[in-house]
Every structure is written in structure tokens, then in C-alpha cells.
Structure 1
Amino acid sequence: MSLSKPNARPDRPWFSSGPTAKPLGWSPEALSTALIGRTSRAEPVNARFREALALTREVLEIPADYRLAFVPGSDTGAFEAALWNLLGPRPIEVIAFEAFGNIWAEDVTDQLGLKARVRRAAFGGFPDVSGVDPEADIVFTWNGTTSGVRVPNVDFIPEERGGLTFCDATSAAFAMPLDWDRLDATTFSFQKALGGEAGLGVLVLSPRAVQRLEAGRQRPIPKAHRLTTADGRLDEAIFEGIVTNTSSFLTLEDWVWALNWCRQAGGLREMIARTNRNAAALGAWVQASRWAAYLPDDPAVRSTTSICLKITEPRVAGLSEAERHAFVREMTALLEAEGAAFDVGSHRAAPAGLRIWCGPTVETTDVEALGSWLDWAFHTALEARLSRTGQSV
């Protein structure tokens, strides 16, 4: 049975999981104060980087004795800087339950050549983390951007531990509470957190991580990711806003604008509340849907930012994986042609389905308007498929 196109479209149809939607009220004019044409060593530029680090600490409520730095290469660059600089002297446990967790496991074992216990789960699941070695370094993503799964809690990380924790928090920061006392090397990037432009990552180090850094370099480190000086001390300049290579000042200005928007909107508590409202709005539609369900079956591990859905309708669910991906591409093409939703297909490494960003820069009214468009796109794509294959609707 055909469905008519809904009357109301989302005002802001940007539901991509990275880069994510800009906050309401953003315009290119926000970048007009960028210090373009200046050297990255100019004092006004350094002051702006310091301001951005201070604002990041304030908004995320990061402890005063933790150190922050900008690292090139977005979250990937920041996380790999942490792995390459810090891993080595202790046993390693990697908790992998989505695409990037698997990449970090590969980095540790194949690129760094280190032995590690890798605890894996398929997309939609969360690994068994019972009995994690308190003396080991623990590598994990807080929220699986590609799987819609998040850490249910950090009880598996001992408060009294010998090892360090390495947390990729890129799609959790600013949207979920982070337990800083359990985190030692934490990273995130602009295009996830608050809808910022790409290119820069943030690295947050606990005092214990700094102590590890200064205990001795584990291996040769490329200049762009080197965090210590020639004499083995923490490179204070990097942690005072001087970047290791020339970075985009437009990205920097975009980040400062987004942080100030966050402060004015109510700070971290409001960012988390906005995310939860968005996730609840989408959840109400999922609960009523006859053809879609959450990819994670366990409610305790479901993400509130990068929400991943599977298609349960038998005539689609029974197709091959390649055919399901093709079906989703047809759905998303319909949505984009109508200007109703952009970039809501699942990650290329994930099972075929939908992935809808519900972070704090998305408006709840747009999430509410999205559901009927998803229904329309699904039924339109299904009718087209059935017609092509000679099946009755």
C-alpha cells in the first residue's frame, strides 16, 4: 500500500554521524573572526588555541590536573597519538564492538606489533568485560559510532588500577557523561562533538598518563604525534595551545563558536539532556514501527547519539547483505531527493540499515518530523523492489 509524502519536512535535515549538524543559529559569519593569513606561531593565534582548550575543559568539566592538547588528524590522529606514545610497558586489553574498535585492535596488534587480549562482539553487541586485568592497559570506544552501542557503565575499569585506560570518546563527548576518574588518555574530534569542522582532534591526559609519557619513549614517534621533548619531558608547548603542525584556523574558530553556543545553551548538562530528548523522540517512532528495530537488542547498551537501526520486515530482512545495502541506498536516495534527511545510511562496515545522529546539535522537532519520512521512504522503496521482481505488494 502506497504512502503519501508527509506534509512537514525536518527544518534541518542533517542527521549525519560526522560531520554532524551545526548548532541552530550557526552561519558562515561565525568564522569571520578567524585569524587567517597568520602564522601558527603568532601570539594571537596561540592565544586563540589556548582559549579553545580552556573552553573545552570548562564545558566538559575536565579535572584541573588533566592536560589537554590539539592533535592533527581528527579523533583518529589523537587516538593513534595516545596509542603510539603510551602503549608498551604493560599487558593490553582491547574492547572492540564496532568498526573503530576493530581498527584500534589492528593498530595495537598489527601496526605496533604488541600482544593484546581482544574482547570482541558483533555489531549490535557488547563484549564480555568481566575479569578485565587491573594491571593491563585497557583500550576501548565509549560509544560505537558505527554500531549504535555504547559502554553501559565503566564498572569494569578498576578505580585502583595499574594500567592506563585509552578511551575513544568521539561520539560520546558533549552528549554523554564521561567518568574522568576512570579515563587516562581520552580523545574526541570536532565533527562529532558539536557539529564542528574536521581536521583537529583533542587529546586529554590524566596525571598518570603524563607520568607514563615521561617514564621513557616506547618507540620512535612521527613529529606530528610526538608529545615529549628530546629530553623525554612532556612538551609543555603542545599542552599550552601550540599545535605540532599548521592547522586550520577556520576549524579553530568554528570550535570556539560551538563551545560558546554550548555554554549559552546551558552547558554540558543541557547538551546531554538535548541528546536524551532526541534519542527518546526517535525511540518512540522505533517502538511503533512495523519494519525497523534497534540494531542493539539490549537497551542498556544502546547509543543516544549514533542510533543504528535494522530492517525487520521479512521481505527485506530475508535478502542477502548486498541486496539489503542496495535497498537502504534506494531509501536514502529518496530521502535526500526530497530534502527530508541526509546521510542516514549505516556505516559501510556495519550491517545494512539506518544510522541517525541524535546528538545535541540536532533539534528534537526535526527528529519527530523524520519518522514519517522514514516510513514513506521504506514503503516507496519496497513497492519499487516488489514491482521490479514481479511480486505483489
Structure 2
Amino acid sequence: MGSSQSALNFGAGPAKLPREVLAEVQGELLSYQSTGMSLMEMSHRSKEYDQINKSSQDLIRELLSVPDNYRIIFIQGGGLGAFAAVAMNLIGRTGSADYAVTGTWSDKAAKEAQKYGTVNLVFPKADKPGSVPDPGQWKLNPDASYFYYCDNETVDGVEFPYIPETNGVPIVVDMSSNIMTRKFDVSKFGVIFGGAQKNIGPAGAVVVIYREDLIGNVMKITPSIFDFGQVAKNNSVLNTPATFSVYVMEKVLQWIKRNGGVGEMENQSAKKSGLLYNTIRNSNNFYSCPIDENVRSRINIPFRVGGPNGDETLEEKFLIEAENRYMYQLKGHRSVGGIRASLYNAVSLSDVELLVKFMKEFQSRNQ
């Protein structure tokens, strides 16, 4: 690929970052703010990193309108670490928690939580993900420590179109793959978390937003780095944080703010996903999406090529030809197969237009 040709990266994560952010990082890589040192070489207790840490938290609070009674912290360990951290911080309140399993990641979260308390699945796990049962069928436990769900299943392409009603039970939500892509009311949640590596930065940092009154029944076995209260008390520098990840994240958050904030990210998301879904819908079943229409993700869109069940030979050909056009990471997750296009904030509408153009041409040649 020529140096002037930019890849069209539809990967699910670590995902595409805004080009202007990468250029800015490149310009500061050897010397951050004329210090003669890279940010990667600086102490996490330096005044330079302290400013980045503060600015990142302030930007999240501003962009998401986070109320004053919520703390914003950064932890490590990815989503999997956060699955355990959530349970260790909260399940001790009553000893049990409700989980809505709608795909791969909520399933992993429920299994992780079972190590620390009783997990009640509010509806039976589906044999094949792609739907969310009507809330009228859910069996909620009024004494649960919290209710947990994954707002957007990255692997399975399921996204909640609403915030569940739990009648006062605190809600914990995994927003790893759709945070900063649409507006929502933070006050409806007890804990919100998300790995940075999809919409807001590179891998390494996990953003946690929690309501202060919920923390205080942490399990004795909880490692200090997963104790939300301890991390907050030490302003997310209890241990050496993922400084470079937070540094790039701060730049991405500035980029979101410059480009119209979360409201504009939501507008762009609707245009991008609408264009791709319309192409699938109007393909006379050459392309098909297996997800129920009312819960189809705007962010991670799985589809099959060559009919509802997919033609694996045709899908392999699709992926090879896509790469020849510099379109990368379109292969579906190994557990579900097919194709998956991830349309994170840094993926532009013109990127999606080029993908759709290719899809139409591929269909005309292979129908």
C-alpha cells in the first residue's frame, strides 16, 4: 500500500483513531511540549501527566454531562477486568446481581460475576444471539445489588434502543463499543464503563463512571487497583496508569469536542449505519443481517454474503477483494463468522460510502 493511501479500517478493536489525532501524537512522540522527552518516558506523577489526567476527566464530564455526584476514574485490565471489578465493588451489597445476557460480552461478564456472588439471568440465554426479549418477560430480582447489561454487543451486533427500567435497582452498563456515539442520561446509571480501544483511544485504559453512594461494600478480596473508591481517592494514579493510552484518549476527546460533541457523533452514526443497513436491505437478500431490526447496532454491523445463511466461499472472496481496495478487518468474529463492519466515531461517512460502493459492485459481479 502506498504511503499516500489511507487504509479503510472497519476493525472491531483496537479500532481506527482519527488521523489528525495520530498526526498530533506523531509530532509530539519524541518531545512532549518541548521537554525533550516523550510522554511515554515521563513519570505518572509529573505535572505534564497530571494535566492530561485532569483534562481527560473534565472532557468526559463535559461531553457526557456527568453529574457532580459521579466520579470518573481510569483503570486497567480491559473489559474483562472491569467485569470482575464491578462485581467485587457492588455485589457485596446484597450478595446477588441481575444480568441480561444478549451476546458474547454480557455472557462473559455474567460468568465472571458468578465467582463473587449469585447471578440471576433475567431471561434465558438465547441459543443464537440477535434479539432482546420484551422487558415484560424479564424476571427481575428487587433485592439485586445491581442490574447489568451490555449496551452494545460488539461481536453480535445487538444494541439496546432504550435504558431498561429496574425499579430502583442500580444499573451497571458496559458501553465499551458505543460510548461517545450517542447522548444518554448518566443519572439513570449506577456504573458506566468502557474500554478505550473502540471510540475514545488506544487499548490500555478503561473509563469508569460511578455514582459515589454505591461504593463502600467492596469485597475484602478486591485488589487495590480494582477498588473504585481507592482508585478515585488516588485520582487514578494509585499505581502506574496506562499513561500513553490516557494521553491519546485526551486528544480523541478533544477531537470529539471540536467536531460537534456527542450530539454530532450521534448524527454521523445514524447516517453511517443507515447507509449500510439500507444497502443490505435493498440487496434482494444477496446481503443479509441476522439481527432483529429493533435491536440492530449502529456501531457493529454483522452481515452475511450470498443469502441468509451466507456462502463462505463468496465471503472469503468478498474479504480478499475488499483488502485489494484497502478495506481491512471486515471479517466477522470467529464465533459467528460472516462479515462485520464496525462504524466507530473515527470511521467517516465517506469510508462507509466507499464500502457500500464496493458492496454494490461485488453483488453485480457475483449475484
Tell me the TM-score normalised to structure 1 length: 0.80
Aligned with 1:112 (options 113, 116, 137): 116
3-state secondary structure, aligned to 1:174: coil
> Is 1:127–2:121 an aligned residue pair?
no
> Is 1:181–2:187 an aligned residue pair?
yes
3-state secondary structure, aligned to 1:36: helix
Whether the 8 Å CA contact 2:177–2:198 is kept in 1: the answer is yes
Whether the 8 Å CA contact 1:225–1:244 is kept in 2: the answer is no
Report the equivalent of 1:68.
72
User: Comparing 116-125 with 26-35, which one deviates more in the overlay?
Assistant: 26-35
> Is 1:340–2:326 an aligned residue pair?
yes
CA distance in 1, matches of 2:184, 2:190: 12
Kindly provide the amino acid, as one letter, of the partner of residue 198 in structure 2: K
Report the equivalent of 1:361.
346
3-state secondary structure, aligned to 2:20: coil
Whether the 8 Å CA contact 2:170–2:190 is kept in 1: the answer is yes
Q: Decide whether aligned partners of structure 1 residues 355 and 223 sit closer, same or farther in structure 2, where only a CA change above 3 A counts.
A: same
3-state secondary structure, aligned to 1:96: coil
CA distance in 2, matches of 1:281, 1:245: 44
The number of equivalent residue pairs is 347
Whether the 8 Å CA contact 1:79–1:203 is kept in 2: the answer is no
Report the equivalent of 2:318.
331
CA distance in 2, matches of 1:306, 1:217: 34
Report the equivalent of 1:7.
none
CA distance in 2, matches of 1:76, 1:39: 27
Kindly provide the amino acid, as one letter, of the partner of residue 327 in structure 2: A
Structure 1 residue 58 displacement after superposition: 1.0
Structure 1 residue 305 displacement after superposition: 0.7
CA distance in 2, matches of 1:237, 1:43: 18
Structure 1 residue 333 displacement after superposition: 3.2
Q: Decide whether aligned partners of structure 1 residues 236 and 348 sit closer, same or farther in structure 2, where only a CA change above 3 A counts.
A: same
Structure 1 residue 149 displacement after superposition: 0.9
Whether the 8 Å CA contact 2:182–2:263 is kept in 1: the answer is no
> Is 1:201–2:206 an aligned residue pair?
yes
CA distance in 2, matches of 1:82, 1:192: 20
Whether the 8 Å CA contact 1:97–1:127 is kept in 2: the answer is no
Whether the 8 Å CA contact 1:76–1:201 is kept in 2: the answer is no
Structure 1 residue 24 displacement after superposition: 4.2
Of structures 1 and 2, the one scoring higher in RCO (CA 8 A, sep 6+) is 1
- 1:93-242 alignment to 2 at 5 Å? 93-109=98-114, 111-119=115-123, 120-121=125-126, 122-130=128-136, 131=138, 132-136=140-144, 137-158=146-167, 161=168, 163-194=169-200, 196-206=201-211, 210-214=212-216, 216-229=217-230, 236-238=232-234, 240=235, 242=236
Q: Decide whether aligned partners of structure 1 residues 44 and 369 sit closer, same or farther in structure 2, where only a CA change above 3 A counts.
A: closer
Kindly provide the amino acid, as one letter, of the partner of residue 224 in structure 1: I
CA distance in 2, matches of 1:133, 1:289: 44
Structure 1 residue 141 displacement after superposition: 0.3
Whether the 8 Å CA contact 2:273–2:299 is kept in 1: the answer is yes
3-state secondary structure, aligned to 2:41: coil
- 1:380-391 alignment to 2 at 5 Å? none
CA distance in 2, matches of 1:222, 1:250: 23
Q: Decide whether aligned partners of structure 1 residues 264 and 149 sit closer, same or farther in structure 2, where only a CA change above 3 A counts.
A: same
CA distance in 2, matches of 1:217, 1:77: 15
Write out per-residue CA displacement over residues 182-218 of structure 1, whole angstroms, 9 at most, x where no aligned residue. Answer: 2111101221123x21000001101xxx32322x332
CA distance in 2, matches of 1:236, 1:147: 33
CA distance in 2, matches of 1:327, 1:221: 49
Structure 1 residue 243 displacement after superposition: 2.5
CA distance in 2, matches of 1:80, 1:23: 31
Report the equivalent of 1:3.
none
Whether the 8 Å CA contact 1:332–1:377 is kept in 2: the answer is no
Structure 1 residue 359 displacement after superposition: 2.4
Whether the 8 Å CA contact 1:148–1:302 is kept in 2: the answer is yes
Write out per-residue CA displacement over residues 108-140 of structure 1, whole angstroms, 9 at most, x where no aligned residue. Answer: 22x325242352233211134334334422111
What is the RMSD of the two structures over their aligned residues, measured on CA atoms? 2.5
Q: Decide whether aligned partners of structure 1 residues 115 and 36 sit closer, same or farther in structure 2, where only a CA change above 3 A counts.
A: closer
Whether the 8 Å CA contact 1:79–1:187 is kept in 2: the answer is no
Kindly provide the amino acid, as one letter, of the partner of residue 97 in structure 2: I
Whether the 8 Å CA contact 1:71–1:243 is kept in 2: the answer is no
Whether the 8 Å CA contact 1:60–1:268 is kept in 2: the answer is yes
Q: Which runs of 5+ in 1 are unaligned?
A: 1-9, 230-234, 383-392
